[in-house]
């Protein structure tokens, strides 16, 4: 990753903040190969019904929010939203994490689609964007 730094260690406070702000599970994903990624850190959601169990889980990036974020293909607010791409009824909000060398990871907020709508989705977009930018800054990235 980075000399003298641990991406997972540096990301954890931002994942925790994303989870605290949204109530949903937050993850850090890194590219595993050109077409796949893996979740390497997580902060569980605070609802009884929540997305969980994907830490260490690899998945194909095509059509996912993580895949789009890792490719830098995001909306003007710096995030991308995908619904029901890996699991029915699940929405993911993702944003790229950058270092001086480019995109190194993605932060995602993941939860049930019925909660990630309207005000809940707007809050998830804001939290994901802000925490990805803050982690990027911690890694030495400046816009």
Asked if residue 90 belongs to a domain, the reply is yes
Asked if residue 100 belongs to a domain, the reply is yes
102-112/90-99 β-pairing: antiparallel
pTM of structure: 0.90
Asked if residue 2 belongs to a domain, the reply is no
Asked if residue 30 belongs to a domain, the reply is yes
Asked if residue 84 belongs to a domain, the reply is yes
Provide the residue range defining the domain that includes 56. Answer: 7-138
pLDDT at residue 54 in the model: 66
Q: Write the CATH number for 88.
A: 3.30.450.40
Specify the number of domains making up the chain. 1
Asked if residue 143 belongs to a domain, the reply is no
pLDDT at residue 86 in the model: 79
Asked if residue 70 belongs to a domain, the reply is yes
Asked if residue 121 belongs to a domain, the reply is yes
Q: What is the pLDDT along the chain (143 residues), one digit of tens a residue?
A: 444 459 999 999 999 999 999 999 999 999 987 889 998 999 988 755 556 666 677 777 889 999 999 999 999 999 999 998 878 899 999 999 999 999 999 999 999 999 999 999 999 999 999 999 999 999 999 87
DSSP the chain: -BTTB-HHHHHHHHHHHHHHHHSSEEEEEEESSSSEEEEEEEE--SSSS-----TT-EEE-TTSHHHHHHTT---TTS-EEEESSSSTTEEEEEEEEEETTEEEEEEEEEEETTTSSHHHHHHHHHHHHHHHHHHHHHTT---
């Amino acid at each position: 990753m980075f000399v003298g730094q641990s991406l997972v260690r540096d990301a954890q406070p931002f994942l925790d903040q994303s989870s605290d702000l949204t109530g949903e599970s937050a993850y850090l994903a890194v590219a595993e190969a050109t077409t796949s990624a893996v979740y390497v850190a997580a902060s569980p959601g605070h609802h009884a019904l929540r997305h969980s169990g994907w830490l260490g889980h690899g998945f194909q990036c095509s059509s996912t929010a993580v895949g789009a974020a890792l490719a830098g293909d995001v909306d003007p607010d710096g995030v991308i939203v995908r619904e029901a791409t890996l699991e029915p009824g699940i929405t993911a909000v993702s944003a790229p994490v950058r270092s001086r060398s480019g995109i190194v990871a993605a932060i995602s907020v993941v939860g049930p689609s019925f909660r990630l709508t309207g005000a809940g989705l707007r809050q998830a977009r804001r939290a994901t964007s802000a925490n990805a930018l803050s982690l990027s800054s911690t890694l030495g990235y400046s816009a």
